């Protein structure tokens, strides 16, 4: 699938060039730099539909999937206060750029785990503004994202190594109010929201 928008060819060519580097770290470094530049490039505008939030959840809209390289580009629209639980990217690298607004991103490191439970330690929180980009490379892929605004939407662009159809979601154990820090992993199937 692909949506038409101004500067689409420039965006795709930039991602293709980065992915051709072959090494995960080189790819994500190049993609971070490219996204920061493209977000500020007035000749590139995302489709208008990505500016429309959905009331009960953050929106995931597919912008492009590469038939040649397999990566996918998803625009996410975050209404005021919308966010995620701690989650992973199922072992895939990802580069995320803030296209509009601000996002609060907290990175987590896995401290320990057993067969069913995981315990994380917060490794830092940043508030990322328009034009900034970051990357996640497994095993450093655990994080939360949240729109900290009470009244403004935020839009982010995510380039995934492959189409991400599922991810791990981590939920604090019931009956232990924040006490022991252990979480259980569930699997969430990911879809995309309808483009209007």
Question: What is the chain's pLDDT, residue by residue, as a tens digit (196 residues)?
Answer: 567 899 999 999 999 999 999 899 999 999 999 999 999 999 999 999 899 999 999 999 999 999 999 999 999 999 999 999 999 998 999 999 999 999 999 999 999 998 889 999 999 999 999 999 999 999 889 999 999 999 999 999 999 999 988 999 999 987 555 557 799 999 998 888 877 6
**CATH number reported for the structural domain that contains residue 116 in this entry:** 2.60.120.10
Q: Is 143 annotated as a binding residue?
A: yes
Asked if residue 1 is part of any domain, the answer here is: no
Asked if residue 3 is part of any domain, the answer here is: no
User: Domain of 132?
Assistant: 8-189
Number of domains in the chain: 1
pLDDT of residue 173: 82
Q: Is 57 annotated as a binding residue?
A: no
Q: Is 140 annotated as a binding residue?
A: no
What is the SS3 assignment for 175-194? CCCCCCCEEEEEEEECCCCC
Query: Distance (Å, rounded) from C-alpha 173 to C-alpha 117?
Result: 9
Asked if residue 196 is part of any domain, the answer here is: no
Q: Which residues, in sequence order, are CB contacts of 8 under 8 Å at separation 6+? A: 2, 44, 64
Query: Distance (Å, rounded) from C-alpha 66 to C-alpha 61?
Result: 15
Asked if residue 46 is part of any domain, the answer here is: yes
């Amino acid at each position: 699938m692909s949506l038409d928008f101004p500067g689409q060819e420039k965006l795709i060519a930039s991602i293709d060039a980065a992915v051709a580097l072959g090494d995960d770290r080189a790819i994500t470094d190049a993609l971070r730099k490219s996204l920061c530049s493209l977000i500020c490039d007035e000749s590139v505008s995302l489709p208008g539909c990505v500016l429309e939030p959905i009331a009960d959840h953050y929106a995931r809209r597919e912008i492009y999937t590469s038939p040649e390289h397999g990566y996918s580009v998803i625009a996410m629209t975050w209404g005021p206060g919308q966010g995620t639980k701690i989650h992973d990217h199922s072992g895939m690298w990802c580069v995320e750029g803030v296209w509009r607004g601000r996002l609060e991103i907290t990175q987590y490191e896995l401290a320990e785990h057993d067969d069913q439970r995981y315990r994380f330690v917060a490794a830092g929180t940043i508030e990322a503004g328009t034009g900034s980009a970051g990357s996640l490379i497994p095993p450093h892929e655990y994080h939360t994202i949240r729109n900290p605004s009470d009244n403004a939407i935020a839009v982010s662009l995510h380039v995934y190594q492959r189409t991400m159809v599922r991810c791990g979601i981590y939920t604090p154990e019931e009956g232990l109010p924040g006490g022991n820090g252990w979480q259980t992993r569930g699997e969430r199937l990911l879809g995309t929201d309808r483009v209007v």
